[in-house]
A and B are shown apart, each in its own frame.
With several copies, the nearest count.
Chain A
Amino acid sequence: MTAQTVSIALAGSGGAGVITAGAMLLEAASRAGWYAYMTRSSGPQIRGGEAAAMMRLSTEPVASHDDCFHLLVAIDWNNVGRFAAELPLSAGSLVVSDPEEGEAPSQIGASGARSVALPMKELAKSIPGGRPNMVALGAIAALIGLPEAPLLEVLQKVLKRKGEEAIQASLDALRAGMAAAKDYPAVPRLPAAETRPGTRWSITGNEAAGLGAIRGGVRFVAAYPITPATDMLEWMAPALAKVGGTLVQAEDELASINQIIGASYGGVPSLTATSGPGLSLMTESIGLAIASETPIVVMNVMRGGPSTGIPTKSEQSDLNIALYGMHGDAPHLVLAPNSVTDCLFTTQWAVHLAEALQTVAIVLSDQAMGQARAVIPRPAEVAFLAKREKPQLAAEQNYQRYAVTASGVSPMAIPGMHGLQYTADGLEHNETGTPSSHVADHTAQLDKRLRKLTAYNYGDHWADVEGEGETAIITWGSSTGPAREALRRYEAGGKRARLVSIRLLSPVQPEKFARALEGVIRALVVEQSHSGQFYRYLRAHYDLPRDVKALHRPGPLPVRPGDVLGELASWS
């Protein structure tokens, strides 16, 4: 059986090394010329909790999980039941588990999947220094057709510091797994691919976002640790130091947002990253940046809400707060990358826009996308750089920081520029920045702060629009991957539909939206929230066709291509 894509879950308790093994599989797959996508799920324990690496390998780029896993390898069953719902299987799936560990949890059994026993612990024990996760990895490799060579390369790279013996032990364990799996029932095997070193990237969404920020020009970051944004920050801290910037770990989110406002006021493009609870704490000062027209970028990596919610799991439920969470009328940018790859582009674009428009850009990523690792085609260079409009020194005798201009953007002086001193203010102000409660000043400033956003030409980047026909799928963020895949399958079934994945959530683009939907008579709205936040937002701001269905579900289960396809099918 040769397929274009195979989905594999590797589960076990915390110490079992499933994440390590998953990462090695991904690395080997990239060396074998395949593309890949991996997310992870873990329990609440810091150490020793259950975990799963959920992977999809493919001969084409992949940006989402499939409807179910072809292969589940469980090193043990400890607490795997807790997230069985995250590991959908079908009757065609194969479950590989260690006979020492007993019965699979009932939910796994109920799937009707075929199952085989692989004595991972026993085999590992027979090899000095051998570990069950390597046996599992070997079995997976054999089943999906991953050659030994790239695996060995990865072993050598990862275990270099541990020495030859460790490498050999792992290799032996791998081979034991491979040998054992020889006669297992088949799962999809990927065809061998052309390997062209230097044409792929292996990167997580959080890393891509961090890189996008630095590419865009960010050189100051202040932040407070929070799952699942921390690893973006951990990537950025040393990276910034290398390119001449810095990251400050602040005492809380109130400090981090205000530190970046201060740094940006000083002329340095600045960013913070957080998740829901932190974003909540930042909204007052986001309003300050909007009112004082100080550009900043706020990356929000969404997790399950409300409140502390489910810190380690994904959800698209911070859309409302990102759009509407500020008091007063506070127009700003909200952007959302729609894949691991797009985290790079969208974050870079966000920096560019925030700086060009002297406002706040909130970027909504999520745990699934941010912590997903993907093997992707090497991304293109993008021309978007931070470029703030500054006053022309000589001309400005009577500098007006908040001058009401046609574009709404007013040239911004930077401390150190002589003779252009002004006071930035979060109080309503007149054109020079002096506090004012006059109706006329308030209206003029509200108008200009809105106008600079609505008058700007965002080009085609506001959304990814593809396909044709009378049916549209409208989605955003990490729900785009499965929606796009559903579209492909729908088209493969001979039907036509369009996909509109909105990248620029605010300001809204009613004309572009109308054009994208021209001729559409029915639309399916897809998102991962309980209350249908995205659907309500669309209704509020766009004209939707009469016939609209909303597929909205809370996390942590991702939307799957089959869910989307099912909704489409139920129409026709």
Chain B
Amino acid sequence: MDTQTQAARYSAKDYKSAIKPIWCPGCGDFSVLSALTKALAELQLPPGRVAVVSGIGCSSRIPAYTSMYGFHGVHGRALPTAIGLKVARPDLTVLVTGGDGDGLSIGGNHFLHACRRNVDVTYIIMDNQVYGMTKGQASPTTAPDWEGSKLTPEGTGVNPFQPLAIGLAAGANFVARCFTGDPNNVAEIIVEAIRHPGFSLVQVLSPCITFRPEQKDWKRLVRTAPVEFTTDAARAARRLMTDDGFNVGKVLYKGSREPFRPDLGGSGATVADLERQFLR
């Protein structure tokens, strides 16, 4: 279906659409959008051969802001949509973008199973530790004592998830964390994630300026992860279980499991061949 013939060089802005984001001024998601477009320019992937799939949330609005094929589905179901697309169309590059609520709360089961199934898609989870779109409720990554939501006025009283630790335990093949404060680094990591075969998980700390104004401090709290990536999942797990969530800028784990990619070539049989078994 590819009809591209010219060998033009794409620049980052070729991956942006003309639609103005509905995001609040200063929202971290702007940086993710620009890092993403930079990454694609680096990879020189034709926009018509890339699909960006998302669920619902502020962060999940990204697809329409790009010039690629986009699918803005329902809340929490971006991963299966992307997996179906990639399995049926292995020739495409498939990215998934979304929030911590979308991916880890309502979408948690698909997150687990995407890590396990290891289809070659790149999942960029924009973590702001809050539900932005619905005006500020606690998410699975929110600290237990955050009292900013009227729904949990005393805090949630539950420990936050460490998405990378869970992803790793569930079998994710590539695990990285970065911060919107350094969009070039985010772009680099996205490039690496897309290049890596199988399911790649990228957690981007992306502040919500409106409902978590204290996240402006993240730029002071983050540090470049003091370690290089490992290919030993057990080691990576141990690291991540004690990590405070602020080690950023690095790929933390790379596995070498074969991606899930069913053969679509068929056996040469026709439908008439299938019918023969019923004949009497």
Residues of A participating in the B interface, judged by any CB pair closer than 8 Å: 27, 30-31, 43-49, 197-198, 200-203, 207, 211, 214-215, 219-220, 222, 224-227, 230, 233-235, 237-239, 241-256, 258-268, 270, 277, 284-285, 287-288, 292, 307-308, 375, 378, 393, 413-427, 433-435
Contact = CB atoms under 8 A, between A and B. Distances in A.
Contacts of B25: 47-48
Given A46-B133, A434-B64, A245 B266 contact: yes
B72 A243 contact: no
B215 interface: no
B263 to A, nearest CB: 7
A241 B64 contact: no
Interface of B: 1-4, 19, 22-25, 46-49, 51-53, 56, 58, 63-64, 67-77, 80-89, 91-92, 105-106, 108-110, 112-113, 131-135, 137-138, 140, 149-154, 156, 210, 262-267, 269-271, 273-275, 278-280
B216 to A, nearest CB: 15
A385 to B, nearest CB: 11
Contacts of A201: 275, 278-280
9 contacts: A198-B280, A202-B280, A237-B152, A255-B110, A258-B74, A416-B91, A418-B4, A423-B52, A435-B64
Given A285-B73, A423-B71, 18 more contacts: A27-B280, A47-B25, A48-B24, A211-B275, A230-B135, A241-B266, A248-B262, A249-B152, A258-B73, A259-B80, A267-B1, A285-B77, A292-B73, A413-B69, A418-B2, A419-B48, A421-B69, A424-B71
Nearest to A197: B280
A378 B279 contact: yes
Nearest to A420: B48
B267 A426 contact: no
Which 7 residue pairs across A and B have the least CB separation, nearest first? A244-B266, A423-B70, A259-B84, A262-B84, A263-B88, A416-B1, A262-B85
B43 to A, nearest CB: 16
A395 B73 CA distance: 28
A357 to B, nearest CB: 20
Contacts of B4: 418
Contact of B84 (A202, A270, A423): A270
For chain A, what secondary structure do more than half of its interface residues adopt (helix, strand, loop), or is it mixed?
A: mixed
Contacts of B263: 241, 246
B22 A422 contact: no
B83 A422 contact: no
Contacts of B152: 237, 249
A271 B220 CA distance: 43
B114 to A, nearest CB: 9
Contacts of A207: 278
Contacts of A270: 84, 88
B279 to A, nearest CB: 6
Nearest to A259: B84
Nearest to A378: B279
B132 to A, nearest CB: 6
B274 A234 contact: no
B84 A251 contact: no
A266 B50 CA distance: 11
Given A234-B151, A246-B264, A416 B92 contact: yes
A200 B276 CA distance: 11
Given A200-B280, A246-B262, A230 B134 contact: yes
B259 to A, nearest CB: 14
B137 A238 contact: no
